[in-house]
Structures are given as C-alpha cells and as structure tokens.
A and B are shown apart, each in its own frame.
Chain A
Amino acid sequence: MNSQLTPGIAPARLGADELAENFSDLHAPLEPHEAAVAADRCYFCHDAPCVTACPSDIDIPLFIRQISTGTPEAAAKTIFDMNILGGMCARVCPTEDLCEEVCVREVAEGKPVEIGRLQRYATDKLMATGVHPFTRAALTGKTIAVVGAGPAGLSCAHRLAMLGHDVTIYDAMPKAGGLNEYGIASYKSTDDFAAREVAWLTSIGGITIENGKTLGADLTLDSLADTFDAVFLGVGLGGVNALGAPGDDKDGVTDAVSFIRELRQANDLSTLPIGRNVVVIGGGMTAVDAAVQSKLLGAEQVTIAYRRGREAMSASRYEQDLAASHGVKLMFNVMPKAVRGNGAAAEVELEYTTVTDGALAGTGETLRIAADQVFRAIGQTLNTDAGLDLEGRKIAVNETGRTSRAGVWAGGDCASGGDDLTVTAVAEGRDAAMDMHAVLMK
C-alpha cells in the first residue's frame, strides 16, 4: 500500500474513496431553490456589462430572468442560441475574469451574481430532457469540412448543420471534444460530460465525425479544399514547448497536457502514478489543472514555478487561490535552470528572475527543490500551418475567421485573435460558420 510519503513516482497514494471524492464535481450543481435565490440577485441591467464581457455574447440578464420565472429550459435556449457549448462553458469559463468580474454586484458588493453556476443550472436542465432544441434549415447541398472536434470545430459544425449544410468533422484523437475531452481538469467535467455534450450537440443531424485523422498526416488542406465547398480549421495547438533547460529529457519530466489527458481518460484513478514531489513549470490554466490534480492524486508536495510575478500569470487569481487552497505552493519569479537526477528527475534547480523594461533575466541566485516529477506547462504551439499565412505563431484570420486562403476559415486556439478560452473558440467557430454560410449562399 502506497502513501503520500512513498518515494518516487507511484500509483495509489490515496484510497479509492478519497480519490473519488477528490475528483467529484468542483462546484456542486445548484438545487432549484438555490438557483431561484441566485437568479433573484440579478438586477436585469440595461445594456448589461456581463453581456459585453462574454466572448460569446450570451444575453445573460434574459436567461437569468427566465430561470427566475421557472423556465430554465427557455433560459438554456437563450444560452445555446449564442453558445452551443454553453454547458461546458458553464463549467470551465473563467467567469471571474469575464461576466462575473464586471457584474455590477461584484463591483458594488464584491459578490457577483453566480452567472456560471446559473448557466450550468439552465443548460443541465435542458440537456437532461434529451431533447435537442434546434432543427436544421432546408438542406443546401453544400458540404463543409471541419478539422478539429474541439470547441471551435464543434460550434462551427453545429451552426453550419443548423443552416442546412452537411458537415464532416475530422479529428486526430480517438474521441471528439478536443480540449474539453482531453485538456481540462477532471473535476470540471465529471460524468463524461464532454462526450455527452458532443453526442447531444451532433444530434441535430448533418454532422459526421471521423476520428483518427490528422491534418498533415492523414489529410491535406488541398484535398479537403478540393472535396468540400469550404473548410474550417480548428486544430488547436498540438505541440508543447520545451523547458529550454538541461535535464528536460530525464525520466519523470513530461508535458502537463499529457498528464491531464491520461488522467481524463483513466478508468481507474488508483492506477495513475504520481510523484511524491511534483513541480509544474508554467503559469496558465494548464499549470493549475496539472498541479491541483497532482495534489488530488496524493502528491505530498506540489509546486507551481512561474517565471514572472503573480499579476502576469495567465491563470486567474481565482484559479491561483483554488490551487493554494488545495495545498499547492505557488512560486513566482523563478525559472528552470536544470532538472537534476541520476537518470530520473530528483530535483529542479530554479533561478530567481527580475524584469527590467519588460525583459526577463536571471539574478544568478538559485535554489533547488525536490522533484520526482516535472510537468512542462509553458505554452503550446501550432503543429502545422497548412501553408497558410501566420500572425505571430498562429494562423492569421480576420474577424470572421477567414484565412489567407479563399474557402478556408480558422478559429479557436490555432487562429490569431482572442484569448485561448473555450468560450472564445465557440464564438469564433460560430462566427466563422455564419460567414461561411453567407459566402456559400451568395
């Protein structure tokens, strides 16, 4: 029987019951009465700031009022009109940085209307009926290829199918969902929600998903462009940045996204090995998800090492506090200097940093912390540009997702513009679909 003190990387540090408890829903769904009370706090603001802050432009005051009058199904329809992945967004959106940050009650009282939880309440209610609330328009005869079954691709495909087009989605992974299925913390998507959402979304009809098809390997953009009337790329960012420090290749040094993916797909959490001492290098949501889940699997010491200050961290303060509340130590202004160990990682050597005129530099002072396992969470990169123009390191697109190649649109994390958020990807997929429709039906 292993414990938190078992040296090295080992499975089953915690008992099955504790693991199950740790990986249950992060936020319990609202009960009907809780939802009524929470909904009643909404002031139904004029030209509401929350709507402005929502990347997918959901009419938040309207859906909350619909909840308060006992029609959560109508509320869900209001949400899905703008964001067909409103169920997942309700679970993963950093609402503290978006709608809830600007809620007038947050500004006035420091306690916003619980928009995210209310959205989950409404969307769960409708999805539980098993009824899909949208129907397809008359078929157009147009066919469209969507590459990537993540939030952008699914959103785009649903909107296109609704408008009467036939869509084929290609995805490299064995299951659809993209980061919803493989890339977010388990406790944010319990009970196989990502897969259920895909099934519910595609039940509108007109969407075929082909798994195990990778752009650049199994598919080429040229052939897709020849075969289909239009193409949407929502391939995400498949590559992971290296540490750029000696020892990156030692045993125990892995990508945080791989760890998260394996955890999400694990049938038995007690078979998942985790280090006694875990260090996560990075400062985004992936870093937080990896660190917190390491702790929940039973790691004794978990540290997030971020090279800049707290304010520069892309994980929100809420996420930082979530990590801290689970016992994760947050270290700021330290960068990896080397991973040390005899074959397998044993320590991470970190160097303190300062920022001068925006430029990061080591101070020369270093420290070492024990590390059986090191997760890289320092950003992801585009796997293939498919011959398209880039903006920075992403596919260049205009505001409706058009790429440099006619007939090819792109959205989500692989495309320029917008934050790398699920909700942003959904909005970009939706808007690209509307533009594709306009172009195809001209």
Chain B
Amino acid sequence: MADLTTDFLGIKSPNPFWLASAPPTDKEYNVRRAFEAGWGGVVWKTLGSEGPPVVNVNGPRYGVIHGADRRVLGLNNIELITDRDLQTNLDEITRVKADYPDRAIIVSIMVPCEEQAWKDILPKVEATGADGIELNFGCPHGMSERGMGAAVGQVPEYIEMVTRWCKQYYSKPVIVKLTPNITDIRKPAEAARRGGADAVSLINTINSIVSVDLDTMSPHPSIDGKGTHGGYCGPAVKPIALSMVSEIARAPATAGLPISGIGGVTTWRDAAEYITMGCGNVQVCTAAMTYGFKIVQEMISGLSQWMDEKGHTSIQDFMGAAVPNTTDWQYLNLNYISKASISQDDCIKCGRCYAACEDTSHQAIAMSEDRTFSVIDEECVACNLCVEVCPVENCITMVEQQPGTVDPRTGKVVSDDYANWTTHPNNPGAVAAE
C-alpha cells in the first residue's frame, strides 16, 4: 500500500488530508473526534486577540446551492472567527497536540494589522506546541469590515508586513492563507513570499450571495429580513481554486513556494488533482460539514488505491506533475486536430448532443429517422460540448486526427508540427517560426 505520509514544511502527518480552519475545528471535542476518524491534521479555527471574543449572528449562518437530490454543491457562510475565549482555545490546542503528536495542528490567527497585536498573541500560540500558524487573510465577511481577513489579503503590502512580523515573533512555519477575492492571485502570493512565508494556502471563501428569497426579498441566509454576502466554498469552487493554485505554481516569482490546496476537495480524486498541481497537502471543510468526519476514510483508501495502480509510492512521486502541462492559451498546439466520435453501442439516443450542437454550436451532429446520432466531420470543430452534455460517460469521445490525414472541415492535411498562436499568420503580433 502506498505511503500517504506527508512532510509539509517539516510538519509530518500520516496523510495529506487536513481539516481547514472552519467550524469543524473550533474546539477540542471536534478535533479529537476528527483525529480518531483518521484526519492527518487540522488547522484550528481562527483565533482572535485576547479580550472579549467576537460574536456571531443568532440566526442562520449558511446557505447552499443544491444539485440533484439536494446534493450540496456550494456552501455559503457568514460565520466569523472563533467566538470562544482565546485562553480556552489555547488550552485545548495544547492538550490535543500533546495527545496526538503524530498529527499536524496548525493554528489560524487573525488579529488587527498592528505589530503589537501579533507580538502579543504569537508567543501564546507558540507555547501550545502546535506545529505552525496560518494567517487568515481571507475571511471575506464581517471581519473584513473591521480591517482584518480579506481586507488585509487584498493589499499585498499588508500581507508582506504582517508575514514579516510573524516570522520575527514566531519560530515555526508560517502559512499565509489567500483570499480569492482579488484580480491576480499571484500578487498576494508574491507578497507572502517576500515577507518570508513558508507556504501559502488557498483559497479562502469567495464573496457570495447564494439566493434571494422571492417572498421576503431578502438574501439567504436571512437575519431578521436582511442578508449579507458570505463566503462560498464546496465543490462549486474547486475549478476556481485549482486555477489559482496553478497560477502560483507556474509563476516564476512564486514557483516552488509550498502550497496547501483548499477549495471543494470532496473526494480522493480532488485531492490528487490538487497535489498534481503542486500542492503538498489539501485542506477540507465542506465535505466534512456535509458528510461528517468519516469521509476521510474514502479519501485515504481512494488515494492509496490510485497511487498503487499508478505505481506511486509517495505523495512526492506525483506532486506538481500537472504543472508543466498547464500553460497559456497562446502556447496550445493549433495543429492538433480531433473530432467527436459517438459510440453507437453506448448511445441511448437521448439526442442531447444533437440539441446542443444544432441549437448552440456548429451543426455537426446528424440525426436520422431512427434516432441514430452521428458526427459530421466536415462541421465538427471538436469543441467537446457533446461530450460534456452526453449523460453516458465515454459514449462520445474525442479522436485525434492522425498527421498526414485530411481534416474534412478545412480540407487541409493534418500536420505533426507544433504551431501555436504566437507564430500564426492571423496573429498581428506573430513572430517568425523558428
């Protein structure tokens, strides 16, 4: 069986599955049960400064986008950081870490953007014996209105400044958690690196209003008839997060910076994808909040089975393997030509491919009297829409056209030369092909 142990910034954990800083990690009771269930680590729910803790609303905190059968696809929350006493949290962290030395415990922190505030809390956190800290520069609601969370994460200079303070007053690894509510995710990542961060984690939640109640005209969740934007997470945000992770993994200024991947990790497969995009581990929240802590068992068994099947003996074996294959559009090979192909044996004759192509695309699927659907190669641009709307997986596939054959759509011979937009004659800024 594959070895799932990970060493992230020198922090060992038996598997790459950590619970993200969120309600599931708010207290000792939860974290102990999470560790018993098999989680490799937790990022303790964000601590604030000493003194009266923040308060949460006393009405609903969550809203959801549901799929079929009320499957949770996207989760929105307006909960703030921990609303429990700082010392209570610190005592619990100390106890749990002592009892679970093989698991990772990272402490998430959010205090005002003043050096003294960080100087005050960091020694207390260090004293717990926790393995590292994560700076919450991402929370998009409530705390950001008070100049913390995403309000810091949206200003690279602040990120750099606070990160530097943390490296100054804290001896263990510092992870900077990034907000996606920003135009270019590379900028805050670069700032974190400049400030001396050991790693970044992303993404935090995305500004969101999941729905409006059409009777009360209030956004959901509604507190006494009013709503506010919350933070969006869950399976729906995974594509956004994965793209942001790839940008940091690819950019020369941030390449090599360790990444903890967050955003809609629901199955072992999601985790594997994040790791191939350069992450050293993943953090999970919505899946646990939907199904409970037990889901980690599927994540462990699934990742292990896949690694065995692929011959990977450690996480390192495939970490970052997809990064070199992630490029800019301009470098995609325009001489690569494929065509859709429909397996008549697998086709159930629903006609969705036809409706999609005929109404909204390239009129490249023919329908016969007896509901046989076939691709018109002369029209097919290989857009893949039919593949994606077909309810039968692998019924429609994209078949690569072999070099030397003629593309019936263009009448041109398929070339095996690589040629991209940078050298294309239609590109006003084209450079001569080498």
B68 in contact with A46 (CB, 8 Å): no
**A49-B371, A108-B392 are known contacts. Are A43 and B69 too (CB-CB below 8 A)?**
no
A44 in contact with B371 (CB, 8 Å): no
A45: Cβ under 8 A from any B Cβ? yes
B392 in contact with A37 (CB, 8 Å): no
Closest to B354 in A: A46
A107: Cβ under 8 A from any B Cβ? yes
A62: Cβ under 8 A from any B Cβ? no
Closest Cβ–Cβ distance, residue A331 to chain B (whole Å): 37
A-side contacts of B391, CB under 8 Å:
43
B68 in contact with A40 (CB, 8 Å): yes
Closest to A43 in B: B350
B-side contacts of A43, CB under 8 Å:
350, 352, 391
Q: How far is the CA of A415 from the CA of B246 in the complex (A)?
A: 70
A-side contacts of B350, CB under 8 Å:
43, 45-46, 104
A111-146 interface with B by 8 A CB criterion: none
**A37-B68, A40-B69 are known contacts. Are A107 and B348 too (CB-CB below 8 A)?**
yes
User: What does the 1/0 interface line of A20-38 toward B look like (CB < 8 Å)?
Assistant: 0000000000000100110
Interface size bracket, A side:
10 to 19
A47: Cβ under 8 A from any B Cβ? yes
A46 in contact with B352 (CB, 8 Å): yes
Q: How far is the CA of A48 from the CA of B70 in the complex (A)?
A: 26
Q: Is the interface of A mostly helix, strand, loop or mixed?
A: helix
B348 in contact with A36 (CB, 8 Å): no
Q: How far is the CA of A49 from the CA of B347 in the complex (A)?
A: 14
Closest Cβ–Cβ distance, residue A259 to chain B (whole Å): 43
User: What does the 1/0 interface line of A273-298 toward B look like (CB < 8 Å)?
Assistant: 00000000000000000000000000
A-side contacts of B392, CB under 8 Å:
108
A45 in contact with B351 (CB, 8 Å): yes
A108 in contact with B69 (CB, 8 Å): no
A108 in contact with B371 (CB, 8 Å): no
Closest Cβ–Cβ distance, residue A283 to chain B (whole Å): 31
A107 in contact with B349 (CB, 8 Å): yes
Q: How far is the CA of A43 from the CA of B391 in the complex (A)?
A: 8
B-side contacts of A49, CB under 8 Å:
349, 371
A105: Cβ under 8 A from any B Cβ? yes
Contact with B351, one of A33, A36, A47, A105 (Cβ below 8 angstroms): A47
A37 in contact with B69 (CB, 8 Å): yes
Q: How far is the CA of A46 from the CA of B351 in the complex (A)?
A: 5
B348 in contact with A46 (CB, 8 Å): no
User: What does the 1/0 interface line of A38-79 toward B look like (CB < 8 Å)?
Assistant: 001001111111000000000000000000000000000000
Closest to B69 in A: A37
A104 in contact with B348 (CB, 8 Å): yes
A104 in contact with B68 (CB, 8 Å): no
Q: Chain B: how many interface residues by the 8 Å CB criterion?
A: 14
**A36-B69, A37-B68, A49-B371 are known contacts. Are A44 and B352 too (CB-CB below 8 A)?**
yes
B355: Cβ under 8 A from any A Cβ? yes
Closest Cβ–Cβ distance, residue A62 to chain B (whole Å): 13
User: What does the 1/0 interface line of B330-351 toward A look like (CB < 8 Å)?
Assistant: 0000000000000000001111
B-side contacts of A46, CB under 8 Å:
350-352, 354-355, 367
Closest to B349 in A: A104
Closest Cβ–Cβ distance, residue A258 to chain B (whole Å): 45
Q: How far is the CA of A47 from the CA of B349 in the complex (A)?
A: 10
B356-378 interface with A by 8 A CB criterion: 367, 371
Closest Cβ–Cβ distance, residue B72 to chain A (whole Å): 15
User: What does the 1/0 interface line of B397-420 toward A look like (CB < 8 Å)?
Assistant: 000000000000000000000000
User: What does the 1/0 interface line of B100-125 toward A look like (CB < 8 Å)?
Assistant: 00000000000000000000000000
Q: How far is the CA of A108 from the CA of B352 in the complex (A)?
A: 15
Closest to B346 in A: A108
Q: How far is the CA of A29 from the CA of B2 in the complex (A)?
A: 50
User: What does the 1/0 interface line of B136-147 toward A look like (CB < 8 Å)?
Assistant: 000000000000
A91-111 interface with B by 8 A CB criterion: 104-105, 107-108
B36-86 interface with A by 8 A CB criterion: 68-70
Closest to B356 in A: A46
Q: How far is the CA of A40 from the CA of B68 in the complex (A)?
A: 6
Q: How far is the CA of A33 from the CA of B66 in the complex (A)?
A: 13
Q: How far is the CA of A141 from the CA of B70 in the complex (A)?
A: 53
B348 in contact with A105 (CB, 8 Å): yes
The winner among A37, A45, A46, A105 for most chain B CB atoms within 10 A is A46
B-side contacts of A33, CB under 8 Å:
70
Q: How far is the CA of A316 from the CA of B253 in the complex (A)?
A: 71
Q: How far is the CA of A44 from the CA of B70 in the complex (A)?
A: 19
Closest Cβ–Cβ distance, residue B303 to chain A (whole Å): 30
A-side contacts of B68, CB under 8 Å:
37, 40
Q: How far is the CA of A37 from the CA of B354 in the complex (A)?
A: 25
Q: How far is the CA of A47 from the CA of B371 in the complex (A)?
A: 9
Q: How far is the CA of A105 from the CA of B350 in the complex (A)?
A: 9
B-side contacts of A47, CB under 8 Å:
351, 367, 371
Q: How far is the CA of A47 from the CA of B354 in the complex (A)?
A: 10
A-side contacts of B351, CB under 8 Å:
45-48
A-side contacts of B69, CB under 8 Å:
36-37, 40
Closest Cβ–Cβ distance, residue B350 to chain A (whole Å): 4
B-side contacts of A40, CB under 8 Å:
68-69
Closest Cβ–Cβ distance, residue B114 to chain A (whole Å): 50
The winner among B351, B355, B367 for most chain A CB atoms within 10 A is B351
The winner among B349, B350, B351, B355 for most chain A CB atoms within 10 A is B350
Closest Cβ–Cβ distance, residue B213 to chain A (whole Å): 13
B-side contacts of A104, CB under 8 Å:
348-350
Closest Cβ–Cβ distance, residue B335 to chain A (whole Å): 34
A-side contacts of B348, CB under 8 Å:
104-105, 107-108
Closest to A39 in B: B68
Q: How far is the CA of A40 from the CA of B67 in the complex (A)?
A: 9
Closest to A42 in B: B350
User: What does the 1/0 interface line of B369-397 toward A look like (CB < 8 Å)?
Assistant: 00100000000000000000001100000
B-side contacts of A107, CB under 8 Å:
348-349
Q: How far is the CA of A105 from the CA of B351 in the complex (A)?
A: 13
Q: How far is the CA of A45 from the CA of B371 in the complex (A)?
A: 11
Closest to B390 in A: A43
Q: How far is the CA of A48 from the CA of B367 in the complex (A)?
A: 13
Closest Cβ–Cβ distance, residue A376 to chain B (whole Å): 42
Closest Cβ–Cβ distance, residue A32 to chain B (whole Å): 12
Q: How far is the CA of A132 from the CA of B352 in the complex (A)?
A: 35
Q: How far is the CA of A362 from the CA of B354 in the complex (A)?
A: 54
A393-415 interface with B by 8 A CB criterion: none
Closest to B351 in A: A46
A-side contacts of B371, CB under 8 Å:
47, 49
Closest Cβ–Cβ distance, residue A34 to chain B (whole Å): 10
B11-40 interface with A by 8 A CB criterion: none
Q: How far is the CA of A107 from the CA of B371 in the complex (A)?
A: 13
B-side contacts of A48, CB under 8 Å:
351
Q: How far is the CA of A46 from the CA of B350 in the complex (A)?
A: 6
Closest to B389 in A: A43
Closest Cβ–Cβ distance, residue B274 to chain A (whole Å): 29
Task: Supply 9 A–B pairs (Cβ within 8 Å), ascending by A.
Answer: A43-B352, A43-B391, A45-B349, A47-B371, A48-B351, A49-B349, A104-B348, A104-B349, A107-B348
Q: A37-B69, A40-B68, A104-B350 are in contact. List 11 more A-B contacts (CB 8 A).
A: A37-B68, A43-B352, A45-B352, A47-B351, A47-B367, A47-B371, A48-B351, A49-B371, A104-B349, A107-B349, A108-B348
Report, nearest first, the 4 A-B pairs whose CB atoms are least far apart: A46-B351, A46-B355, A108-B348, A40-B68
